[in-house]
Amino acid sequence: MTIQEAQKQVDDWIKKYGVRYFNELTNMVILTEEVGELASVVARKYGEQSFKESDKDKDMADEMADVLWVLVCLANQTGVNLEEAFKKNIEKKTNRDKTRHINNEKLK
C-alpha cells in the first residue's frame, strides 16, 4: 500500500464509519496521546520500566499503527499529501546530512 492509498483508505473509512473527522486540535491531542502509548510500550520493552499487568496486552505494532492513523487523519483534513511530503523530507535530510552521520565519530 502506498502512503497515498493509505490516506484514501482512512478517508473512506472516516466517511463510512466515522461520521466526520475530529477537528484538527482534537486530532493533535489524540496523536499526542497515541505517541505516549507507544512510548510507554517502548519504555517497558527496551527501557528499565517493567510491564504493569494492564500493559501486558499492549502491542507495539498496533500502537505504531494508531499513531500513523491519526497522523493520516491530520494530513487528510489539512490537505497534506504525505507521500509527497515524505519524499521532500527524505531529500531535505539527504542534502543536509549526507556526510554528517558518516563523519560522526560517536557512531563508529
Distance CA 105, CA 108 (A): 5
pTM of the predicted structure, to 2 decimals = 0.90
3-state secondary structure of 101: coil
Q: Report the chain (108 residues): mean pLDDT per 10 consecutive residues.
A: 98 97 98 97 93 86 98 98 98 95 92
Extract the C-alpha cell encoding 104.
560522526
Judged on CB neighbours under 10 Å (0-12, 13-18, 19+), 19 is exposed
Domains of the chain: 3-81 (1.10.287.1080)
Block residue for cell numbers 502512503: 3
Nearest to 30 by CA among 61, 60, 1, 72: 72
